[in-house]
């Protein structure tokens, strides 16, 4: 089972996510791996379950979920088997697809584990990721798949710690490795005039408006309610806006904004391009990231690469990614978060923390990540 990355017949088979699930960060990671391996001269192909049964929209969310399961767990395994003859190694890019590792004895299997929060939630642990009865079964299946892998690459120390506790590698399970993420896009510091010009083009904010940024979804652990409450504490002392990038706000969150008296200063950007997000990071007063739980916290690294100061929760893995270059608060200290936001509205403080952010962001090199994965691939068999 020789893994010869530069041999003419070598091929890394990347497994990505089901497109209708709209897991944007996982899709971006798979594409970064595909492009990075190509630049490194490593032949690779990305495959993912496609929507066949999932194309039919009837019967509500419950029926849609089960139709998607047919696509993922009945049709896709057949596609996967047809690709195995050409594969030298399988890399499952998201641990939530780890069940595809089971029974794969033909080639080594690497699984990137971004977090085990849903697994922990299914076990009754507090992670702001509650699980239904079927969800608990799915998480057990995922853990069984992780135990079948050759290597599980954990993206943070917090995820690695959870993996050691929940996968039990000492009982003949996979090798566990810590392999930090790189950026999913080459975000960089821009001249402020260029960044502001990009924002003017899309007319999402008044010219030269100050704003605080949140990048994420409506998942409970992302704590968007906290973002709104923190922003509301600043509304009388700071004439800025709060910009939410990612999933549109839920009706409950919009109602909360109304109750707090800040609805007219809330901006939603559901589908920001990389160029627009880069401009937002470069123009923001700060990234406000009071998550309760994360597997890594990509927006922290992205913001810092653009010189955007970060205010985030004083909890792993946010502190690991922030690297001492962010203002940290306990998740319940919303008054402290608000005080830090007002502090960064001062240009001198903003510049000081911006310099710290840029220095820390140098750790998140995508080329370094790809090189680490290539070395991991080679370790599974002689080159």
At 54-75, the pLDDT tens digits run 887 666 676 878 888 899 999 9
**Closest to 337 (Cα-Cα) out of 229, 195, 205:** 229
In this predicted model, which residue has the larger pLDDT, 21 or 251?
251
Provide the pLDDT for residue 134: 86
Assign 3-class secondary structure to the chain: CCCCCCCCCCCEEEECCCHHHCCHHHHHHHHHHHHHHHHCCCCEEEECCCCCHHHCCCCHHHHHHHHHHHHHHHHHHHHHHHHHHHCCEEEECCHHHHHHHCCCCCCCEEEEECCCHHHHHHCCCCCCCCCCHHHHHHHHHHHHHHHHCCEEEECCHHHHHHHHHHCCHHHCCCEEEECCCCCCCCCCCCCHHHHHHHHHHHCCCCCCCCEEEEEECCCHHHCHHHHHHHHHHHCCCCCCEEEEEECCCCHHHHHHHHHHCCHHHEEEECCCCHHHHHHHHHHCCEEEECCCCCCCCHHHHHHHHCCCCEEEECCCCHHHHHCCCCEEECCCCHHHHHHHHHHHCCHHHHHHHHHHHHHHHCCCCHHHHHHHHHHHHHHCCCC
Provide the pLDDT for residue 90: 95
Provide the pLDDT for residue 202: 81
Average pLDDT over residues 289-305: 97
Which pLDDT tens digit goes with each residue over 244-265?
Answer: 999 999 999 999 999 999 999 9
Whether the per-residue pLDDT at 242 is higher than 80: the answer is yes
Average pLDDT over residues 110-120: 97
Provide the pLDDT for residue 9: 55
Average pLDDT over residues 365-381: 94
**What token pair was written down for 236?**
């009388």
φ, ψ for residue 288 (rounded to 5)?
-100, 115
Provide the pLDDT for residue 201: 81
Q: Which of 102-106, 123-127, 251-255, 333-337 comes out lowest in average pLDDT?
A: 102-106
- Give 382's pLDDT tier (boundaries 50, 70, 90): very low
**What token pair was written down for 272?**
């920001």
Provide the pLDDT for residue 8: 44
Buried b (16+ CB within 10 A) or exposed e, 300-335: bbbbbbbbbbbbbbbbbbbbbbbbebbbbbebebbe
In this predicted model, which residue has the larger pLDDT, 243 or 69?
243
Whether the per-residue pLDDT at 117 is higher than 60: the answer is yes
Whether the per-residue pLDDT at 383 is higher than 50: the answer is no
- Give 172's pLDDT tier (boundaries 50, 70, 90): confident
- Give 47's pLDDT tier (boundaries 50, 70, 90): very high
In this predicted model, which residue has the larger pLDDT, 91 or 83?
91
* Per-chain mean pLDDT for the chain: 92
Whether the per-residue pLDDT at 52 is higher than 70: the answer is yes
Average pLDDT over residues 168-190: 91
Question: What percentage of residues in the chain have a pLDDT greater than 70?
Answer: 95
Residues of the chain with CATH 3.40.50.2000: 12-182+366-379, 192-361
Contact call for residues 327 and 309 (beta carbons, < 8 A): yes
Contact call for residues 172 and 247 (beta carbons, < 8 A): no
**What token pair was written down for 351?**
């510049």
Provide the pLDDT for residue 124: 94
Which architecture, in CATH terms, is 12-182+366-379? Answer: 3-Layer(aba) Sandwich (3.40)
Provide the pLDDT for residue 106: 77
Which pLDDT tens digit goes with each residue over 319-349?
Answer: 999 999 999 999 999 999 999 999 999 999 9
Bridge partners of 14? 46, 91
Provide the pLDDT for residue 58: 65
CATH class for domain 192-361?
alpha beta
């Amino acid at each position: 089972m020789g893994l010869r990355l530069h041999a003419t017949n070598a091929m890394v088979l990347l497994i990505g996510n089901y497109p209708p699930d709209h897991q944007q960060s996982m899709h971006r990671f798979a594409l970064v791996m595909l492009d990075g391996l190509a630049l490194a001269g490593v032949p690779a192909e990305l495959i993912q379950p496609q929507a066949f049964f999932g194309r039919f929209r009837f019967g509500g969310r419950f029926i849609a979920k089960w139709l998607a399961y047919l696509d993922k767990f009945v049709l896709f395994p057949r596609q996967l088997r047809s690709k195995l003859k050409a594969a030298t190694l399988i890399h499952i890019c998201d641990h939530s697809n780890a069940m595809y590792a089971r029974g794969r004895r033909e080639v080594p299997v690497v699984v990137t584990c971004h977090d085990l929060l849903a697994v922990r939630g299914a076990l009754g642990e507090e992670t702001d990721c509650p699980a239904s009865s079927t969800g608990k079964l799915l998480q057990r299946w995922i853990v069984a798949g992780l135990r079948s892998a050759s290597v599980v690459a954990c993206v943070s120390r917090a995820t690695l710690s959870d993996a050691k506790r929940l996968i039990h590698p000492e009982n003949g399970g996979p090798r566990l490795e810590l392999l930090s993420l790189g950026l999913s896009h080459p975000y960089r510091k821009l001249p402020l005039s260029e960044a502001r010009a990009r924002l003017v083009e899309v007319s999402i904010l008044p010219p030269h408006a100050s704003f605080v940024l949140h990048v994420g979804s409506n998942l409970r652990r992302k704590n968007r309610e906290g973002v709104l409450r923190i922003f509301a504490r600043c509304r009388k002392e700071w004439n800025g806006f709060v910009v939410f990038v990612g999933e549109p706000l839920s009706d409950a969150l919009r109602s909360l904004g109304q109750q707090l008296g800040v609805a007219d200063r809330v901006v939603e950007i559901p589908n920001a391009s990389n160029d627009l997000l880069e401009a937002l990071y470069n123009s923001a007063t700060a990234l406000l990231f009071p998550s309760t739980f994360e597997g890594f916290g990509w927006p922290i690294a992205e913001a810092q690469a653009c010189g955007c100061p970060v205010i985030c929760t004083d909890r792993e893995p946010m502190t690991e990614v922030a690297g001492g270059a962010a203002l940290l608060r306990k998740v319940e200290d919303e008054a402290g978060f608000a005080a830090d936001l007002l502090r960064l509205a001062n240009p001198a403080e903003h510049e000081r923390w911006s310099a710290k952010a840029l220095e820390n962001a140098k750790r998140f090199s995508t080329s370094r990540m790809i090189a680490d994965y290539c070395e991991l691939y080679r370790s599974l068999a002689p080159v």
